[in-house]
Amino acid sequence: MTAAGERLFARYAHQPNERGYCGPEGADGLAAVARGEAASVSVPDVARRFSGAWPYLTVVGGLLGVDPLDERAVRAYWTGSAEGDALDADEVWRRLVAIIGPQAGSYWTHLDDRLAAEAAPHHAFHVFGVYPWTRLLDTGLPEPVQVLADCSVVPARVREVVDDGCLVDAPVLRYADGRLSWGEAAPRRVSVPYGDLLAGGDAVTVHWDAVCERIDDADAAALAARLASQLERVNARLAGALPR
């Protein structure tokens, strides 16, 4: 386990936890960890109580031969990585469903081997495949698209730094004619909660309207490609080529 891995985990896990979507109560100390300050919480103890992220970290860490909170495993999950891309997706799915299937019980009946066609070791699969929101898109309500967009980790480009955050250009998730797509980048106001000193032109990742970290252009392009690839598989399901 490395301090870098714990800090990286905190940077992506803190925002949904603060909003009450993921992980345990009383994990406010994740923000301090994300800023590189002395930890007021045990990150391993907190991370194990994230029912969404922890199974992936366990599976990916096992396949990479590292601790679940090693930076390599954490990176492969939240944004994806070349190491994560090289993992056998079928094996990832088999190990993953063995953990999350019993947890989901009878509530999420879509968690069976038909979903293996979309399987990937990164967060985008969890958002668009494991979570039920893509199965609610045809309700016509705005909430499914909004949740999918907010929960996705997306690459963005800083346009302008302001006092309490920054304005970024980030891809917009759209749903039309039974298909999801990433539209052209549009301005989006986000917070910068972890002390990053940003400048116009910087590439960053955004999750739940917050900057998680600065990344380089190659990593931004790779993340965009993973998101696009995931939507291709999701759209095949939505079109009826795969079970819903």
Model pLDDT for residues 107-136, shown as the tens digit of each residue: 567 788 888 999 999 999 999 999 999 999
Domains and CATH numbers, the chain: 3-129 (no CATH), 135-238 (2.30.30.140)
Specify the DSSP element, H or E, that contains 234: helix 217-238
The model's confidence at residue 104, banded by pLDDT at 50, 70 and 90, is low
At 108 the pLDDT is 67
The residues that bridge with 154 in the sheet, in sequence order, are: 206
Of the ranges 57-61, 138-142, 221-225, which one carries the lowest mean pLDDT score?
138-142
Average pLDDT on 220-228 reads 98
DSSP 3-state assignment of 173?
Answer: strand
The DSSP symbol for 244 reads: -
- Number of separate helices (H) and strands (E) present in the chain: 10, 5
End-to-end C-alpha distance for the chain, whole angstroms = 38
At 2 the pLDDT is 46
Of 62, 181, 73, 188, the C-alpha closest to 123 is 73
pLDDT tens-digit series, residues 23-79: 888 777 899 999 999 877 899 999 999 999 999 999 999 999 999 999 999 999 999
Q: Catalogue the E-assigned strands of the chain.
A: 154-162, 165-176, 179-190, 203-207, 210-215
The more confident residue out of 243 and 233 is 233
Question: Residues with Cβ < 8 Å from 137, sequence gap 6 or more?
Answer: 144, 145, 175, 180, 238
At 107 the pLDDT is 54
At 106 the pLDDT is 54
At 1 the pLDDT is 41
